[in-house]
Structure 1
Amino acid sequence: MSALRIEQVTTKKVIPKTEDLVFGKHYTDHMFVMDYQEGKGWYDPRIVPYESITLDPAAMVFHYGQTVFEGLKAYRTEDNQIKLFRPDENFKRLNRSSERLSMPQINEKDVLNYLKELIKIDQDWVPAEDGYSLYIRPFVIATEPNLSLAPSRSYRLMIILSPVGSYYKEGIHPVGIHVEEAFTRAVKGGTGTAKTAGNYSAAYKAQEKATKEGYSQVLWLDGIEKKYIEEVGSMNVFFKINGEVVTPELNGSILEGITRMSIIELLKTWGVPLSERRISLDELFRAYEQGLVEEAFGTGTAAVISPIGELNWNGKKMIINNKETGEVAKQLYETLTGIQTGKVADPFHWTVNVR
C-alpha cells in the first residue's frame, strides 16, 4: 500500500441540516485522488480539499467515454460507530467494470483503506438521523490527451462523499413505473454489466418520457426481443408471484447489484421461495390477471428498496398490492437498513467498521 498523502482544508464548510439534504447536491470538505500511468501503475494516493479539477480538452474521457463508477454508503450507528455496507463487493465490481472498458485494475484492499481514512477525516458529515447516510462515489476517468481511438494510457481514480436522505421523495412508498418498449438500456455483449456513464445517460430519453406521463421510473425490457424484463430504472427488480419471489437472471446485460445479491442471500436464509430466471412481461401480465402478482420492487444502493405500486404497459395498468408496500419489501427494507445502521444483528458479516 503506497503512502497516503493528506492535505486538509484550512476552512471547513458549513454542514447542511439533514432536512435540507437533496440527493447528490452537497459534498464534504475532502476527496481522495490517485493517478495511473501505463508502465508505472497507480501512484500518489492523496486526500485533498474538495475542489474542481483541470483536464486537457483532449482527455480521452470526454471523447470516448472511458469511465466507470461505483456507489456505496456509510452509516452512523446509535453508538456513534461508522459502518460501510459490503464495500469489498463494490470495489470488486469497479474492477469488473474497468476490465470491460479496458481500464486498469485497482488494489481493492488498498483503496478500501484509503476510503476509510477519507471518511475518518470527514466523519462529521455522516448523518446520525434515521433514513440518512453518507453516499460514496468512487470513479475512474481516462485522462490521456489523445484523440486516437484506443484505450487511454493514463487515468485518475477519485472518491467524493455526499450526505444524503432518501433517493426518492416518496421514500419507502410504492411508485409508478412506465414500461419502455422503444428504447434499450443494454444488450448481452454490450456494457450493461459494467457501471459506466454511457449506460445511464442513454436512459435519459426514456426517463423523460416516463416523467411526462407521471411515472417515477422506467421498466426496461431485453434489447433483442423486447419481451423479457431486465431492470427498473437504474435498479434490479423483483416480483412476488403466487408466493414465490422472482428476479431476472444475470444474462450479460443486467448489472449485478450489491443490494440484489444481499436480498437473494436474505431470502434464501428466510426460506422464501426464490427464482432467478427469465420472466417475460406477458407472463407477468397473465399472472396479474389471475390475481397472483402480490408485490414488486426495485433494489439498489441509493434507494435500498423501492416498492412498485403501478406498471403502465401500453395503457394497460397493473395496480400492485393496492399501491401499498408489501410485507416482503417492508421486511427486506427494515432488515437491510437495520444491518447497515447496526440496529439489526449482522450474521453475514456484511458491515465494515470505519472507526
Structure 2
Amino acid sequence: MKQSKIAWRAALCAGALLWAQLASAAFPDRPIKLIVPYASAGITDNLARALADGLGRELKQPVVVENRAGAGAMIGTAAVARAPADGYTLLMSTNGNLVLGPLLYKKLNYDVKRELDVIGVVAEVPTVIVSSPQVPATDLRQFGAYAKAHPDKINYASLGQGNVLFLVSKMLETELGIQMTEVPYKGSSPALTAVLANDVQMMVDVLPSSLPFIRAGKLNALAVPGDSRLESLPNVPTIAEAGYRPFHAASWLGLSVPANTPANVVATLQAAIHKVTESPQFRQTFTTIGLVMLPPMSKPQIDSYLEADRKRWGDIIQRHNISLD
C-alpha cells in the first residue's frame, strides 16, 4: 500500500512537471502585459510602446502596455516582482528602479536581485551638461572658472535627488571644485525653461530633452559624461577630454521578468527582443532623438553591465551620503 502511494505521488509530480513543460513550450498562447512603472509619455514610455508593438508582431500575441506610476516607480516594479514567473508579465526597467532605488532606499517593497531578472538592456539615454548662453562659458573648464569666480551666482536645475541627473550634478561639484545652489523643478520642461531664461545657470539633462535647444543655439552644451563623444553631438567633448576624471553617466532602458521564469520562455522573449531592437528602422527612430542603441547582450554580459552600473552610482551615493529614507 505504501509503495503504491509513493508510485502515485511520483506519477503525479511527473505529470505536473510535464504539464509545466508543455505549457511553457507553447509560450506565448495569450496576450502579454508590459508594465511601465512611470507615467505615460516621455522617453521610457515611448520606447516601451515601440517595443510592445514590435514584440507583438514577433511573438504573434498582443503585448499590452500598462502604466503603473507612483512611489518612485516602486508600485509598478513590485507588481512585476510578485507576478507569476511565466513570461506573461514584463517590466520596463531602468537604472532608476533597478539600480538607484535599492541604493537610495533602505526599505523597498521588492528585492531586485532575488525577485527580478533583467533579460535585455536595449538602450542608454545619455546625459549632457548644459548652460544658459548668458553664462560666459562655452566649455566645462570655462564654466568651472566662472563658477569659482562667482560662487554665489551659480544655481542648477534639479528634478529631485533620486535620479541620475542629480547625482551627476553632485559629481560635477566635486570634480570642478565648486559649489552650486540646487533649485528643484517638477519636470524637465520647466527646468529647461528656467535655464533658457537664465533663472538657473546650468543643468544636467537627458540628451533627448535638451538636443533641440542645443541644435537651435539656445543652450550651450558644455560636455557629455560618457566614454566617448555622442553621435548626436560630435563637437561636444567628454568630461575626460575637458581634463577631468572620466565618468560615464547614462540612464539605461531594458526589460525584466519575475525571477525563476523558465529558461525556454526567457530565450523566446530574448530572441524577439533582439529581433525588434536590431531592426534598422527601430534603431534609427530612437538614435535620431538622442538615444544610444545597445547591441544584444548575453546573460553574463547583462550581469556585468548591471554590476558596473551599481558600483558607479553606489560610489557617488556613498561619497555624498545621499539617502531618500
TM range (shorter): 0.3 to 0.5
Q: Normalising to structure 1: TM-score of the pair? A: 0.30
In the superposition, the TM-score normalised over structure 2's length comes to 0.32
**Structure with the larger helix share:** 2
Q: Relative contact order: is structure 1 or structure 2 higher (C-alpha 8 Å, sep ≥ 6)?
A: 2
Structure with the larger strand share = 1
